Structure 1
């Protein structure tokens, strides 16, 4: 069983340490303050992360199934954008026209 300090736990979750402290004070992640340091069990942090993944995934599924106007509008906009694009190139700078080269004389071409 591995333990994490406050900074390690925040890095593990890819959040700021102040955000982690807010989560701890709400009681969402179990941790203990030993002296001046916070200590977290890796298993508890992983359990919190799994709960968040399941809850957020369920929320997204419900939004799609309910057909909320906000989701429908975003999906409709994305579909229209994909269908309207005829150029397969990625957006960015427009291609420059090819330069005009001077004509070669037949005698100059033979000499070269």
Structure 2
């Protein structure tokens, strides 16, 4: 089992070291900060990269016009405290037209 430094992991992914650090800190790339240095296990980085490959089923579906796969829905969401239902209600409230309250008849006898 081989371990890599931040710079070596950046070369492995062909990314800037700061981007690898940011993704490792967010938990997107597997790694651990030991003291002041980030350490990555090469086998874990290979598995992480392979997990991002498109599945054979997805590759077959892309060419069919009647069944297009929306790749933006194929992402992992992490955290968050707002459910989709709450977000939809908030959006509906923002889009609702603002109306002025009805004026009351102020005529007196």
The normalised TM-score by structure 2 is: 0.51
CA distance in 2, matches of 1:51, 1:8: 20
Q: Name the Cα RMSD after superposition.
A: 2.4
Which 4+ residue blocks in structure 1 deviate beyond 4 angstroms? Answer: 57-61
The normalised TM-score by structure 1 is: 0.50
Deviations 1:8-53 (A, max 9, x none): 0010111111221222122122211111110000011000110112
Match of 1:86 in 2: none
Match of 1:97 in 2: none
When residues 43 and 68 of structure 1 are mapped into structure 2, their CA distance, relative to the original with a 3 A threshold, is same
Which has more radius of gyration? Answer: 1
Secondary structure of the residue aligned to 1:54 is coil
CA distance in 1, matches of 2:64, 2:38: 41
Instruction: Specify every segment of 5 or more residues in structure 1 that has no aligned partner in the other structure, as ranges.
Output: 70-112
- What number of residue pairs does the alignment pair up? 68
CA distance in 1, matches of 2:19, 2:46: 17
